[in-house]
């Protein structure tokens, strides 16, 4: 008995150790280290060199504060638009049959596949004062391209698929019979929606909205082209980082970049928590 | 009898009337969604094609055969050729590790892999400059071995790899988790080596997700812009990728050239979507057969 267990143990142990430092592990850590963690550490180290007072001063210059304000204000608007229209789109795609449904379902992902620079050039042309869509707003004195409205539209564009694609599968799983049951028991349509359909899809809606918001806050390519990039008007934080780097103001760029990084880390944490919440709802 | 009539009438009304208003609500909602997509997505995408042909077919072909365009295309393809294989290998390994091994910090590792999704491309570029730039941490080393990364191809390649890092892992992990490891364990007990198990058992069952992940990684690599704008010196014909070419053509009032290049990129984007739809269709069919 004892000899048998002794025989098994040695052959098992080295194998376990080997499995833990197997080729996949080595690849994962090397790649992550070289591509992501080392550059990330470099950015953090360069910010640490600055003393806190310097850091604070650079992070809160009037221009920087106005870019946070514009970035967040516009990203919130874009996220809300995506939350409402994304949920509605998912609903329409799951519940209704209509001509062009497959086409609509197919183009939802287009903003992810289309390069942001292409989106920016296109939106700037279509929404300028004489553009295909901009011309309808110009007579009312509404300027879309090269203003905050244009920034918001670019943000809506690039984060369009998130809410649709998170809500769609959850909505698909809800049996229409539950809804019909509520209906036949005398619930009004509003009550049915509010009490039967909405609760299970809320985690998905919030996850998608948070993802859309995170994407909108960090968006650069489409916004830099659709905005006039004038401080206090429509200059967003990522573009400010870019401008500071171009002007060789490296500490200035580093500080704003780090602020953006911290914000995206917080948003990532929120998204992960929301997803965990969604899974709990599942079970 | 009167009581009967009273209870009947409301039910009848309830069944017919809401059905009718439901139909109208349905049409209204569909129209609203189409209006939204038209304004935000469809009209702009149609404009890409109109803009590309504003000087007719010769103008379009002229752009596509110009030296700067061809150089940008070559540079983009080179970046894709470096970034995609590396990210595919990484993504596969990460998926195997995360889906098949239980260890502390699994969720943390998954979050780290997701980081490039949530980091602004500008911040990604800034990170690379902090490490490899003229005032970067590794600059003394790079100067000693006379290696230039920022403002040249290695920087562009690194930015492209960074942007596309999570896609393969993100696609493959859920599939690996869903199929479970019973077949793999069975193969191992029957004496298959790790490699054999991977090639004969694991890979066939994840191939659709893998192909999908590769497509997404490739699409992202071709569209990468913000981080490359920072790490590239943006010299026409030398360190300009296709997206930088779109940007600089547009800024130099060559909007026809910008849109012609945009058509190429949009065409590739549309192609990825078509392949994706076909794959999803095939995948759904396969599942139904099972």
pLDDT one digit per residue (tens) for chain A, 283 residues:
444 444 444 444 444 544 556 888 999 999 999 999 999 999 999 888 888 999 999 999 999 999 999 999 999 999 999 999 999 999 999 999 999 999 999 899 999 889 999 999 999 999 999 999 999 999 999 999 999 999 999 999 999 999 999 999 999 988 778 877 887 888 887 888 888 888 889 999 999 999 999 999 999 999 999 999 999 999 999 999 999 999 989 999 999 999 999 999 999 999 988 988 887 766 5
Indicate yes or no: CB of A40 within 8 angstroms of CB of B41: no
Phi-psi region for residue A98, left (φ > 0), alpha (ψ -120 to 50) or beta? Answer: beta
Please tell me the predicted confidence (pLDDT) of residue B278: 85
Please tell me the predicted confidence (pLDDT) of residue A99: 94
CB pairs under 8 A between A and B: 246
Q: Decide if B126 contacts A241 (C-beta within 8 A).
A: yes
User: How many C-beta atoms surround the C-beta of residue B55 within 10 A?
Assistant: 16
Angle at alpha carbon of residue B258, lines to B255 and B263, rounded to 5°: 120
Please tell me the predicted confidence (pLDDT) of residue B280: 80
Q: Decide if A160 contacts B40 (C-beta within 8 A).
A: yes
The CA distance from A2 to the nearest CA of chain B, in Å, is: 24
Indicate yes or no: CB of A39 within 8 angstroms of CB of B51: no
B19 in reach of chain A (CB within 8 A) = no
Per-residue pLDDT band for B14 (boundaries 50, 70, 90) equals very low
Tokens of B81: 């050729």
Indicate yes or no: CB of B123 within 8 angstroms of CB of A24: no
The CA distance from A3 to the nearest CA of chain B, in Å, is: 23
d(C-alpha A100, C-alpha B31), whole Å: 11
**Which of the 8 DSSP states describes residue B201?**
I
For B123, the enclosing helix (H) or strand (E) is: helix B121-132
Helix axes B242-251, B255-289, angle to 10 degrees: 150
**Chain A residues close to B101, C-beta within 8 Å:** 19-20
**Chain A residues close to B161, C-beta within 8 Å:** 35
Given a cut of 60, whether residue B149 has pLDDT beyond it is yes
Please name the member of B93, B122, B136 whose beta carbon is closest to the beta carbon of A238: B122
Of A90-104, B23-37, B159-173, B188-202, minimum mean pLDDT range: B188-202
**Which of the 8 DSSP states describes residue A228?**
-
Give which of A146, A204, A137 is closest to A170, Cα–Cα: A204
Tokens of B155: 């920087």
User: How many C-beta atoms surround the C-beta of residue A199 within 10 A?
Assistant: 10
Q: Which residues contact A269 (CB under 8 A, 6 or more apart)?
A: B111
The CA distance from A65 to the nearest CA of chain B, in Å, is: 18
Angle at alpha carbon of residue B177, lines to B175 and B182, rounded to 5°: 110
Q: A169-172: long-range contacts at Cβ-Cβ below 8 A with a sequence spacing of 24 or more?
A: A169/A204, A170/A200, A170/A201, A170/A203, A170/A204, A170/A278, A171/A90, A171/A91, A171/A94, A171/A95, A171/A197, A171/A201, A171/A204, A172/A94
Please tell me the predicted confidence (pLDDT) of residue A177: 81
More confident residue, B224 or A6: B224
Given a cut of 70, whether residue B9 has pLDDT beyond it is no
Please tell me the predicted confidence (pLDDT) of residue B193: 85
ipTM of the complex: 0.88
Please tell me the predicted confidence (pLDDT) of residue B19: 61
Please tell me the predicted confidence (pLDDT) of residue A11: 43
pLDDT in tens, B84-135: 999 999 999 999 999 988 888 888 898 899 899 889 999 999 999 999 998 8
Q: What is the dihedral of CA B202, B207, B209, B210, to 10 degrees?
A: 90
Please tell me the predicted confidence (pLDDT) of residue A282: 60
The CA distance from B22 to the nearest CA of chain A, in Å, is: 10
Indicate yes or no: CB of B230 within 8 angstroms of CB of A214: no
How high is the mean pLDDT of chain B? 88
B141 in reach of chain A (CB within 8 A) = no
d(C-alpha B270, C-alpha B272), whole Å: 5
Q: What is the DSSP string of B39-75?
A: IIIIHHHHHHHHHHTTTHHHHHHHHHTSHHHHHHHHH
Three-state SS for A170? Answer: helix
d(C-alpha A190, C-alpha A205), whole Å: 18
Per-residue pLDDT band for B57 (boundaries 50, 70, 90) equals very high
Angle at alpha carbon of residue A15, lines to A13 and A20, rounded to 5°: 100
Tokens of B45: 């995408």
Tokens of B108: 């943390």
Sign of CA dihedral B226, B230, B236, B238: negative
Q: Decide if A269 contacts B112 (C-beta within 8 A).
A: no
d(C-alpha B175, C-alpha B177), whole Å: 5
Provide the chain B residues 161-200 that lie in CB contact (below 8 A) with chain A: 161-162, 165, 194
Give the best residue of B22, B33, B63 to mutate against chain A (max A CB count within 10 A): B33
d(C-alpha A64, C-alpha A142), whole Å: 26
**Chain A residues close to B111, C-beta within 8 Å:** 268-269, 272
Q: Give the C-alpha distances (Å, rounded to integers) separating B238 from A118, B130, B231, B278.
A: 21, 23, 13, 37
Q: Could you identify the residue written with the tokens 């019979």?
A: A177
Please tell me the predicted confidence (pLDDT) of residue A121: 95
Angle at alpha carbon of residue B164, lines to B224 and B117, rounded to 5°: 95
């Amino acid at each position: 008995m004892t000899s048998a267990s002794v025989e098994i143990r040695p052959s098992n142990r080295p194998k376990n150790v080997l499995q833990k430092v197997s080729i996949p592990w080595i690849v994962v850590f090397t790649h992550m280290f070289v591509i992501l963690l080392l550059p990330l550490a470099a950015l953090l180290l360069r910010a640490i060199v600055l003393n806190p007072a310097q850091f604070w001063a650079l992070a809160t210059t009037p221009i920087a504060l106005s870019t946070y304000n514009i970035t967040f204000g516009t990203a919130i608007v874009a996220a809300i638009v995506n939350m409402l229209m994304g949920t509605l789109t998912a609903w329409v795609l799951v519940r209704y049959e209509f001509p062009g449904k497959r086409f609509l379902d197919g183009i939802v992902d287009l903003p992810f596949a289309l390069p942001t620079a292409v989106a920016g050039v296109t939106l700037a042309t279509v929404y300028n004062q004489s553009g295909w869509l901009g011309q309808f707003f110009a007579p009312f004195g509404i300027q879309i391209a090269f203003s905050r409205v244009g920034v918001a539209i670019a943000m809506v564009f690039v984060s369009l698929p998130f809410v649709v694609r998170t809500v769609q599968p959850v909505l698909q799983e809800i049996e229409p019979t539950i809804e019909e049951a509520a209906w036949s028991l005398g619930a009004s349509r509003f009550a049915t929606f509010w009490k039967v359909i909405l609760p299970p899809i809320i985690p998905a809606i919030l996850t998608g909205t948070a993802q859309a918001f995170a994407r909108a806050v960090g968006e650069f390519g489409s916004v830099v082209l659709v905005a006039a990039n004038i401080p206090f008007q429509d200059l967003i934080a990522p573009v400010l980082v870019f401008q500071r780097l171009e002007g060789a103001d490296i500490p200035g760029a580093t500080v704003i970049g780090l602020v953006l990084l911290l914000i995206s880390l917080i948003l990532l944490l929120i998204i992960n928590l929301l997803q965990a919440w969604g899974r709990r709802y599942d079970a | 009898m009167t009581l009967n009539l009273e209870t009947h009438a409301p039910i009848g009304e309830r069944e017919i009337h809401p059905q009718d208003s439901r139909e109208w609500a349905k049409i209204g909602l569909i129209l609203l969604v189409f209006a939204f997509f038209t304004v935000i997505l469809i009209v702009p995408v149609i404009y890409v094609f109109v803009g590309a042909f504003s000087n007719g077919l010769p103008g379009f072909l002229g752009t596509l055969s110009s030296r700067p365009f061809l150089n940008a295309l070559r540079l983009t393809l080179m970046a894709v050729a470096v970034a995609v294989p590396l990210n595919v290998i990484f993504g596969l390994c990460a998926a195997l590790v995360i889906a098949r091994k239980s260890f502390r910090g699994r969720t943390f590792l998954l979050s780290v892999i997701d980081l490039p999704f949530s980091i602004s491309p500008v911040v990604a570029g800034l990170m690379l400059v902090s490490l490899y730039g003229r005032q970067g941490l590794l600059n003394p080393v790079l100067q000693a071995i006379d290696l230039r990364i920022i403002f040249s191809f290695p920087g562009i390649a690194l930015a492209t790899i960074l942007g596309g890092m999570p896609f393969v892992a993100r696609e493959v992990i859920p599939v690996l988790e869903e199929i479970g490891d019973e077949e793999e364990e069975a193969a191992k007990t029957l004496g298959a080596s790790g490699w054999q198990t991977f090639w004969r058992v694991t890979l066939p069952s994840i191939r659709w997700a893998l192909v999908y992940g590769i497509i997404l990684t490739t699409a992202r690599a071709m569209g990468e812009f913000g981080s490359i704008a920072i790490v590239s010196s943006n010299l026409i014909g030398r360190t300009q990728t296709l997206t930088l070419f779109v940007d600089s053509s547009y800024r130099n009032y060559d909007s026809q050239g910008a849109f012609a290049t945009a058509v190429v990129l949009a065409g590739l984007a549309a192609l990825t979507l078509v392949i994706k739809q076909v794959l999803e269709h095939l995948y759904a069919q396969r599942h139904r057969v099972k």
